[in-house]
Structure 1
Amino acid sequence: MAENIRMPQFPEPYWRDSVDLPTFPKLKESTNVDVGIVGGGIVGITAAYLLAKQNMKVALLDAGVLLNGTTGHTTAKITAQHGLIYDEFIQHFGIEKTALYYQACIEAKKLIEENIKEHDISCDYKTEDACIFTNSNTYLSQLKAEKKAYDQLDIPSELTDNIPLNIPIKSALIMKDQAQFHPLKYLKVLVEEAVKNGLEIYEQTTAVDVEYNKHPAIVTRDGHRVSCRFVIEASHYPFYDGQGFYPTRMYPERAYVIAIKTPKKFPGGMYLNAESPTRSIRNVNVNGEDLWLIVGENHKTGQGKSTMDHYQALADYAETHFGISEYVYRWSTQDLTTLDKVPYIGPVTEKQDSVFVATGFRKWGMTSGTIAAKTISDLIIKEKSLYEELFSPSRFQADPAIRKFTSTNADVAKHLIKGKLEYTNDNIKDLAPDEATVTRINGQRTGVYKDMDSKLYAVDTTCKHLGCEVNWNSGDRSWDCPCHGSRYSYTGEVIEGPAKESLNKIELE
């Protein structure tokens, strides 16, 4: 990469930087509503919009501010092409359930289009073909098998060896007429419309539990209660597990995004490679000029090499194939994958059918999040949904779930033990500004970060969820748990669950 082109010092998503969002107060007293929603992303906002439209009294709570979680850090593709999945799903679930999965994705796309049309939302919505490509001989047969699955499902598609993007490929599978948009411009209008219909929104309000009496109640960190008939957990990771054992049935992964300008004109389309490391490519038009979004470098949260190396790998890829004239944004995102790659959408457990969960979108949250909101809203209003069995969180497929269950939890156990046995003796005095280390202070594993003003922040690195040891994420200046994906700021506050409490702070002498 050219020496005079600098990577942005701090991560910030284009979506949030380009929209002014409304602010809302903190919940200061207990309240009573029909539906309590926790999480201000695409699931929570869409569900709140749909339910408020049906004259239901709804309260939406967010631990921080609206649209600052996964939705605010998305790639924002509206597509049913979720990687090479349809041939795999047909093998595991059969043709009918696989067809239903595709139908759910297309229904989500149509619902987004209907909302945009109804409210005349200017959100950069654009129809584009989605494309999975490969330059590896290993994946040629998989693309052919996926094309066969598309044909069985009547998915409009094309298998080709030529795409308009100037990168080397051996084959590409195109799914016709998908879309992309600016998710925050879209969701901002849904927020405004829902508020007109009576939606109550409370920011800086952390939900920590759900209690049952006759009806469920959301309990906040400040001790307030939101009593309701139904609860929707739209918090990315379920803050209330309900003994559904979600930490054992999902694993978290991070991915990285750079937004760049190049000398080349973007040819249209949305692209994703089949092989690893992941490379996803789309554009954003800003004031008549293309920003190229280069996405990828997936890895399990809290594991692997320095996170800045992932940004650099994307930059090297972009420079090699497209050239970089300006490096405008960088950010990262986190998502959860279920045992069978199908999201968990529905009652948190079979016996707790008044509490709904939506999670495990595997980085395809625009369609999965929208259909989650529609499915749960239908279950609340109509007491039924076409997709309730497909997405049921209580399902357990023997193949491949048992193997995934074993490997996922073996990985957690490995990192739990490794973190406890790991010995570190780094010298804090050697830290440069904006660096962190893990060391021992009075025999206790301690994470220490030195900020740009050389002020030190020390935390106990034991995750408050289930006791794994967190690791430093240099790209986002956070402490990340390698077991279940909890993330904390360098001062120890929770950024992302399932953890609910901050890391213990350590006093440095």
Structure 2
Amino acid sequence: MTPSDDSTRDASGDLAGRHESIWMDTSDRTDYGALDGDLRVDTAVVGGGIAGVTTAHELVEAGQSVAVLERGRILDGTTGRTTAKVTSLHGLVYDHLIDHFGVERAQQYADANQAAIEHVADTVDDLGVDCEFGRTSAYTYVDPGGNRRGVRAEVDAARRLGLPASFVEDTDLPYDVGGAVRFDDQAYFHPRKYLLALAAEVADADGSGVFEETTVHEIDDGDPCRVDTDRGEVVADDVVIASHFPISDHALYFSRLTPKRSYVVAARLDGDAPEGLYYDPEDPYFSVRSHAGEDSLVLIGGQDHRTGHGGNTTDRYRKLEREARERFDIESIEYRWATQDYKSIDRVPFVGNAAPQTRDVYVATGFGGWGMTNGTVAGLLLADLICGRDNPWTDVYDPTRFEFGASKSDLLSHNKHAMKHLFEGYVESHPDLDLSGLAPGEAVVADDRDDPVAVYRDEDGEVHAVSAVCTHMGCLVSWNDGEESWDCPCHGSRFDVDGAVLDTPAVDDLDAVDVEYPTDR
């Protein structure tokens, strides 16, 4: 890794650091082939992130044949853009769970995530994976004058569930905190190095395979199940949908999952990095963890917002960098990247049977930013369900649950928000398409013939024009200047400048649009 000082900036002007995840830059890239014709396996796994790869590995260990089907490259999505905290401390969640789910299911959630930490540790040892795994403490803290009462309530709730919790006022951070929940014996790792080792085990197993650049179009819950892809059909006894957002949505997950984007910078400090994993849950949150491979490098995250509503998303990086410099003595910004998560309306992921009417199709989604443990939990839980084994965590993760007290506020606000933007996108006026005023690096949603068109002129002057109508449910997309993508403000689908799907729930690409434009700019 070559350090880049603050004089190394984007062509856009003032963003420091390489626009890439540190995990992507410091691990091998994959080159698994696409599916080539029809295939019969015991289980098909749709999605190659931590949930999908962990599920596949567990099933192979149980003697099954498994096909992992990934639209792009495995571990290139949210899993490759995490801050990689392997912890059961998920903000201030346990007091909430006891109040709304009851002690028994709160205990299931606590036990599941603690078990996930130990499962990762055991797998690292068993496979001899060099993935920078280490142990440390995790902290959820508030600033001075913040919600100390909430922190103390969380400590009490966590202790009640047998978690390694304590209340502290001193941390290794270079600034004061008002109080913190500390969980001991938590962990960190290099997520791609860990999961690439698991994927290799799947790919090498008899009758199994990892298939990249293979797009799943439809899943039929028959006997057996059938998975239709652009490369052939996969027939399987069971199917796991681990595609971040379920691409087959018979249980209305779009109404129960809120998409959010957040930002990360990897900063080199002038001095030692603080020990531990840190999270300030105030809006917008602020996250800190040291990078095991670099003593003075820390990953700092925050500036989260609902997908499609970030405004000037480039400014989110600027704000995060400014906040980081206010709190730390930063020598340089080495990397920056953004990530997307889906949060369930009651704060617990959906893992289990995909819908009440399905028997052999399962789902894992809604990790809410805590996918390193919850994604591992999903793999263990789904493997047990598919293999007919009892699992003690089934009830709390059940996708068919509805906890009204825990859900009502987010359920109403999320769906009101989505419907508002669905209708406003068509009621509000858009400028007529006039490319003569569109400078390099600019984008616009404009009226052109029948439907609005999303147009971007790249830095070389080439125009990219696609339909502005999201292929999921018809909302109009908005421009994300920080990632140069078209993002749906309703349910979080994302597309590149040529309309290719980057993030589900959309499955189909945006249609290309032919536009006439001046070529002398």
Q: TM-score, normalised by structure 2?
A: 0.94
Structure 2, unpaired ranges of 5+: 517-521
* Counterpart contact for 2:348–2:366, Cα < 8 Å: yes
* Counterpart contact for 1:31–1:225, Cα < 8 Å: yes
> Which range is displaced more, 464-473 or 166-175?
166-175
> Which range is displaced more, 192-201 or 2-11?
2-11
* Counterpart contact for 1:11–1:476, Cα < 8 Å: no
What's the CA shift for 1:305? 1.8
* Counterpart contact for 1:131–1:270, Cα < 8 Å: yes
Q: TM-score, normalised by structure 1?
A: 0.96
Matched residues in 2 for 1:182 and 1:217: separation? 35
* Counterpart contact for 1:136–1:275, Cα < 8 Å: no
- The answer to whether structure 1 residue 484 and structure 2 residue 491 are counterparts is yes
State how 1:106-505 maps to structure 2 within 5 Å.
106-198=114-206, 199-222=208-231, 224-241=232-249, 243-286=250-293, 288-425=294-431, 427-442=434-449, 444-505=451-512
Matched residues in 2 for 1:11 and 1:419: separation? 31
Matched residues in 1 for 2:166 and 2:271: separation? 26
Structure 1, unpaired ranges of 5+: none
* Corresponding letter in the other structure for 2:411: F
* Counterpart contact for 1:471–1:481, Cα < 8 Å: yes
- The answer to whether structure 1 residue 63 and structure 2 residue 71 are counterparts is yes
CA deviation profile, 1:174-213 (whole Å, cap 9, x unmatched): 1111111001111111112222322211110001111143
* Counterpart contact for 2:221–2:360, Cα < 8 Å: no
For the residue of structure 2 that corresponds to 1:28, the secondary structure is coil
> Which range is displaced more, 247-256 or 194-203?
194-203
> Which range is displaced more, 199-208 or 354-363?
199-208
* Corresponding letter in the other structure for 1:114: D
Matched residues in 2 for 1:403 and 1:318: separation? 32
Partner residue, 2:519: none
Matched residues in 1 for 2:415 and 2:227: separation? 29
What's the CA shift for 1:266? 0.6
CA deviation profile, 1:261-312 (whole Å, cap 9, x unmatched): 12121121111113121110011133x5432111011111001321111111
Partner residue, 1:32: 40
Matched residues in 2 for 1:92 and 1:46: separation? 29
Matched residues in 1 for 2:502 and 2:19: separation? 14
For the residue of structure 2 that corresponds to 1:325, the secondary structure is strand
* Counterpart contact for 1:139–1:274, Cα < 8 Å: no
Matched residues in 1 for 2:274 and 2:330: separation? 16
* Counterpart contact for 1:139–1:275, Cα < 8 Å: no
Matched residues in 1 for 2:281 and 2:390: separation? 36
Alignment length, in residue pairs?
506
Q: Structure 1 vs Structure 2: percent identity of aligned residues? A: 35
What's the CA shift for 1:422? 2.2
What's the CA shift for 1:441? 2.2
For the residue of structure 2 that corresponds to 1:133, the secondary structure is strand
* Counterpart contact for 2:258–2:491, Cα < 8 Å: yes
Matched residues in 2 for 1:493 and 1:22: separation? 20
Matched residues in 2 for 1:44 and 1:269: separation? 28
* Corresponding letter in the other structure for 1:88: H
Matched residues in 1 for 2:379 and 2:355: separation? 18
- CA RMSD in angstroms comes to 1.7
> Which range is displaced more, 96-105 or 131-140?
131-140
